[in-house]
Amino acid sequence: MAIPYVDIISRIIETPKDNRTISAKQFWKKEVSLLKKLYKTFPDVDFWLTLSLYDTPAKNGRILSLAFFLDNDNKTWFFILKRKWKLFHWSPTPIPNYKFTKNNPEPSNYPISKKNTFRNFFH
């Protein structure tokens, strides 16, 4: 599956308004190369397409550059991305399915009492 770089970047980053300028072309070249580096660490297209930064310190859910995630001096954004990766791939542990029967062949440590009747209650 081909990675839709433009869709991913335009959802997360504040992109230039006019893509015909030289600075816009350099912007897209830089951001695509940064996304390729990040994709090696977090290789899932669905994760990148559903990534939302609205619950982070990002203004309006968008950051200025993907370089925030690769900053070695400030790991905050990398840890945010890592947390979102773990939440995206989290699945609950399966609950074992036990089948109970009335006549269980396994011995039990609990005493089996008589059926509670009105007569047994007074004896």
> What is the full per-residue pLDDT of the chain (123 aa) written as tens digits?
678 999 999 999 988 888 889 999 999 999 999 999 999 999 999 999 999 999 988 888 899 999 999 998 989 999 999 999 999 999 999 998 887 777 766 776 776 666 777 777 776
Task: For residue 121, give the H/E element and its range.
Answer: helix 118-122
Q: What angle do CA 45, 49, 51 make, to 5 degrees?
A: 115
pTM score of the predicted model:
0.71
60 secondary structure, DSSP code: T
CB 81 within 8 A of CB 42: yes
Q: Which sign, positive or negative, has the C-alpha torsion 19, 69, 11, 1? A: positive
Task: For residue 26, give the H/E element and its range.
Answer: helix 22-41
